[in-house]
Structure 1
C-alpha cells in the first residue's frame, strides 16, 4: 500500500470514527483512554470497507453497535485520539452536556461577577454620562423598614456594577444600528453633529422660572438682565433629520417678553444665526464652542452697557483637538469626528483670580488646563461646575456682576471678565444658600440670568429664588420716596465704609462709640453758618474736606442744636440745603441722610435758651427739606424723647444734651436699622482699619480698665473700637503691639489711652509728638464749645515706661498711680 492509498485509508477511518462518536458520544472518554494495538494495513482496509458497506446498505438508521464491532480499538491512532477529543468537546455542548456546562458556567460567572463588584471601588462620577453616580446608601433600621434603603441600594447596584460602561455602550450601539435617528435625546444630524433634542415648551418649569426672576427683579436694588441662549437645535436646524424641528425657542422668547418684568431680555439668536456657517457648537457636545461664545458675548454687551471687544484684539489658541462631549457619550454613536477646544486670550493683559468658596479652592486663571487631560475637557473653562465661583480681575472698571447660570456661561464669562472688577457666578443646581443674602453681602446690584434654552425649560432650581424670596430678610426694601426712613433689615458696619458724618459735638459721640469706619468731620460748635469757614482739627473746613475726597457714597448730617435758639427755621433750612447742593456738585449720586435734632432734658431746658418746642419746629422743617432735596430723614428725636418730648435724664449724660456712651451705641444701631439700599452707582471704598501688630508683652485693655476704675472721672468712660484709636491718635498700626482708648459721651474732654509700642523709639514718638498733637486737636474742639474743659486739656497726665505709654485726661490724677499700673 503506497502513501496515497494509506492516506486515503486514514481519512476513511476518521470519517467512520466521527460518525460513531456522533451516535455514541457517552463512550468517547473510554475509547480515547484505551491503549491502541498495531494492526497491519490489510486488516484495517478490510474492516473499513465492511463498515462502509453496512452504512451504504442500511443508511444512517443502522445500529451503531454494528459499526462499533467493525472498528476495533486497535484502529485508534494518535491522530484519531485527537479527533476524539474534539468530538468529546462537541458532545459536551449538545443537549445533556450543554445543560450541565451552562449551569456550571453560569454559577462560575455569578461568583466572579459578585467578587468583582465587591472589590471594584465605587465611582462618584460617570465621565461618559457626565453625571453623579449613586453611592452605597447609608444603612439604618428605619431606612430598611420604610423601604428607602432598598430603593437607594437598587440605584447603587444599577450605577456601580462592573463593566457598566461597556454594557451601556453596547446597548446604545445596538439602537444606532437598528436605524434610529435619535438615541437618549440625541439626534443624529448632518455633518457628524450629535444635537440635543429640544425639551419642548411646557409651563411645568417655565412659569415657575419666570416667577422666580420677577421676584428677584421686584427687589428694587437689583438691575436684572435675562439671556436665554439658543442651542444647536435652533441655530443648526438645517442639519436636523427631516421633520425633527419644532419651534420652541421662538415661542419661549415671546413668552419671556410677555411675562418677564425686567428691562433687559437678550436674544442672541440673530447674531448666532447670521454666523451659523461657522464652528459655533461642538459636534459631540451640547455647549457652544469658544467661537459661538464670543458671538453670544457680543449680543450681551449692549444690554449690559459695555463695549464689546473686537475679535482682532484676541489671540486664539487651539488647546485640544481630542474632545468628545456628553452628546457623544449619551448617543452611543462612536463614528464622528472629535471636537476642538479653543481659548481667546485678550491682547491687552488681563489678570484674574477665581475662588470657589464652597470648596475652599482658588486658581489664578480663568482656565484649568489640567482638565484637558481628562474626558470632560469643557471643564477647561472656569474649572467646570461649582455652586459659587468668585472672579476678581484687574479690569479697574469698578463694576460688579452676578451671573445666575448653567454651564453655558463658563465659556462666555471669560469674555465678560475684561469689563468687570468682580464677577460672582451662582449655580443654583449646587448652591442652596440664601441668594438674597449673598447678593447683599457682596454689594451686588447688576444680575444676569444666563441659561441655555433646554436648561431653562427643564430645570427647577431657579425656584429656589422664590423660596428665599418668601422668607429672606434681605428682600425687604424701604419705600424709596424721600423723607422718613422706616425700620429696615439691619445692615452691617461695612455699609458706612464710604460715608462721611458732619456734625457738632453730638457727632463726636457717634465717632467715639459707633465703631464705624467712616470719615467724621465734626467739632463742638459746628453749625450751618460755619461749614465752609470753620477749620476742623485737620485744618480744613467740612465742605473742603468732602470735596477733597475721590468718592462719596453717603452723607450723614446732624446740625441744629446750637441754632434753634434763633428761631429762624427757614434761614436755617436754606443754609442746610445749600450745603447739600454744594456737596452734590461733585457727588451727584450721594445718598444724603438728614438726622433730626435730639431733644434735651427738661432739667437742661430750664437753664438754657434751647427749648424742646423749638427743636420740634426745626425738625419739622428738616423733614420738609429732606423731601425737597430728595434726602432721607432719620427721626432720632422720636426715638429718644420721653412722653413729655424731652430727653430722659437717664440718657442725657452729665449735661442734659449729650448722650452717654451706651446710648451712642444705641444710636449707631438705630442708624444701621434705618438704612436704604445702595444704588450701585457709587464704588464702595474698602478702607478697612489694619489690626495692630500684636505679640505685645502687656494687656493694654486690663491696664486701661484699671485706670478708669482708680481715677475719678466726671463722665462715664467706655472703651471704643480700635479704629477710633487709629483715627484719634494717627498711629502707625504696624508699630503698635496693642492699644485701648476710653472716652466719655462728649460732655467732657475726659479720656484714657494705653499703648504698647513695638519698640521704645516709637513709644517716645507717641509720648512727645502724637499724644500732644491729639490734645491740641481736642483743645480746638472744646475751646469755644465747653471752655471749662480746657483746664483738663492743659494738664494731661502722660506716663511712659519703656514701650508702654498711658494718657489720662481728668480733673484729678497723679503720675504715681499711673506708674504703679504700668508696673
Structure 2
C-alpha cells in the first residue's frame, strides 16, 4: 500500500513538472526580470555546430531556468524557506537583522589598489587641494545587522591600508561621522547605497574638512517613493521589504543648472523624477552614472570642484552645490577623454575622490584615467 502511494506521488510530481516545462515553452519569453534586474536568456539558436560542441544544450538549460513558469514566485518561496531554515545568506547576500540585506566586503584586488595608489600619488604631485572619501559598507558601520556567525572582512582596516599610502591627499575619515548614527537609517535595506539621510549626515560631518565654513543645517525633506527595491533585493531574491527615498532641499538662494555633457542635455534639477517609474529608483539622482556631469551655480566665488566618483556621489552632490561656482563629476568607468584638458577648461582648483569601499577595492578605471594623460 505504501509503495503504491509513493508511486502515485511520484507520478503526480512528474506530471506537474512536465506541465510546467511545456507551459514554459509555450508561454511568450520574457526579456527582463524586474525582480532580478537583469536580461533573461532567450531560446538558443539551433545549429549543427551548437549541437556538436554542446553550446545549444548548455544554453537551453539556462533558457529553461530563466523562462520557467512562475519562476519569480518560486524564487520568493525559496528565499522564505531558506530564512525559515535559518540560512544566513542567499546568492552571496547576507540576510541580516531588521530586514537588512548586506553586501559582503570586497576582497581587495592588490594589483588594482597598488595601481590606484600610484596613479593618485602621481596626480597629487602636480595638483593641490585634494581630498579622499571612502564610504564603508552598511555592515562595516553597523556589524550588529549581520546574521549570527556571518564572517565579514574588516572594512575599516582595508580602507586604512589603502589611504595611509596616499601622499599630499587629505584623507577624510568617513566612518567616524557615520558611526555616530549607525543605528539610524544610513543605508538602504535592499540596496548597497547609502540613503539620502546617510549622505546628509556625512556632509554635516565632513563639511569643514572640505573648506565649507558654514554648512546649511535647514532642509526641506520630501519622500518621493516608498517602493524602492535595490540591487541586493534583486541579487538575493528577497523582496520582503522595500525602502523609502527622500530628497533634501537646502535652504539657499543659490540656483543651478546641470549639463550632461556626453548626452548634450541640460536641466535645472539634479533629480530625474521619471526614474522613479523604473526598477532602479536610485537613478533618481542625476539619472544614474554619466561620463561627466557639469553643475553650474549662481555663485561667483571661483570655487571649482572636480569629483572623481562612483554612484555614492550621486546622492551626496546635492549637498555640495550651494558652496561652489562649478562642480564637475567624472565617473572614470565611462570617461575616456583627456582629464588634464578638462581640469584646464573648467579652471579646477579643488579635487575630491568619493568612492564606496567596495568599488575602490577592485576598481581599475581610476588608474587607467589618471595614467592616460
Count of aligned pairs: 365
In 2, distance between residues paired with 1:410 and 1:430?
Answer: 15
**Matching of residues 321-400 of structure 1 within 5 Å:** 321-336=226-241, 338-400=242-304
**Matching of residues 414-563 of structure 1 within 5 Å:** 414-465=318-369, 469=371, 472=372, 475=373
- Equivalent pair of 1:401/1:423 in contact (CA under 8 Å): yes
- Equivalent pair of 1:133/1:159 in contact (CA under 8 Å): no
Label 1:429 to 1:263 Cα distance change in 2 as closer, same or farther (>3 A): closer
In 2, distance between residues paired with 1:129 and 1:435?
Answer: 36
Name which of 74, 98, 101 aligns with 1:194.
Answer: 101
Name which of 290, 295, 298 aligns with 2:201.
Answer: 295
Q: What do the CA deviations read for 1:91-143 (whole angstroms, capped 9, x no partner)?
A: 9x9599x59x968983x755543343xx43633xx54344x537879x9x9x9
Counterpart residue number, 1:285: 191
- Equivalent pair of 1:134/1:155 in contact (CA under 8 Å): no
Name which of 178, 182, 193 aligns with 2:89.
Answer: 182
**Greater CA radius of gyration, 1 or 2?**
1
**Matching of residues 712-751 of structure 1 within 5 Å:** none
**Matching of residues 738-817 of structure 1 within 5 Å:** none
Counterpart residue number, 2:147: 241
Alpha-carbon offset, residue 254 of structure 1: 2.7
Counterpart residue number, 2:221: 316
Q: What do the CA deviations read for 1:668-693 (whole angstroms, capped 9, x no partner)?
A: xxxxxxxxxxxxxxxxxxxxxxxxxx
List gaps (5 residues or longer) in structure 1: 1-21, 23-89, 476-823
- Equivalent pair of 1:215/1:465 in contact (CA under 8 Å): no
- Equivalent pair of 1:173/1:332 in contact (CA under 8 Å): no
RMSD of aligned alpha carbons: 3.8
In 2, distance between residues paired with 1:105 and 1:278?
Answer: 46
Counterpart residue number, 1:210: 117
TM-score by length of 2: 0.81
List gaps (5 residues or longer) in structure 2: none
What secondary structure is seen at the aligned counterpart in 2 of 1:402? strand
Label 1:335 to 1:209 Cα distance change in 2 as closer, same or farther (>3 A): same
In 2, distance between residues paired with 1:250 and 1:448?
Answer: 20
Structure number with higher relative contact order (C-alpha < 8 Å, ≥ 6 residues apart): 2
- Equivalent pair of 2:35/2:234 in contact (CA under 8 Å): yes
Deviating beyond 6 angstroms after TM superposition, the runs of 4 or more aligned structure 1 residues are: 134-137, 149-156
Q: What do the CA deviations read for 1:331-378 (whole angstroms, capped 9, x no partner)?
A: 333444x32212211122342322323333333201122223333222
Label 1:332 to 1:390 Cα distance change in 2 as closer, same or farther (>3 A): same
| Greater helix content | 1
In 2, distance between residues paired with 1:257 and 1:340?
Answer: 33
Alpha-carbon offset, residue 452 of structure 1: 1.0
Name which of 250, 259, 275 aligns with 2:181.
Answer: 275
Counterpart residue number, 1:256: 162
Counterpart residue number, 1:408: 312
In 2, distance between residues paired with 1:152 and 1:433?
Answer: 40
TM-score by length of 1: 0.40
* 2:31 is the counterpart of 1:122: yes
Alpha-carbon offset, residue 293 of structure 1: 0.4
Label 1:307 to 1:283 Cα distance change in 2 as closer, same or farther (>3 A): same
Alpha-carbon offset, residue 245 of structure 1: 5.8
What secondary structure is seen at the aligned counterpart in 2 of 1:265? strand
Alpha-carbon offset, residue 416 of structure 1: 0.6
Q: What do the CA deviations read for 1:652-671 (whole angstroms, capped 9, x no partner)?
A: xxxxxxxxxxxxxxxxxxxx
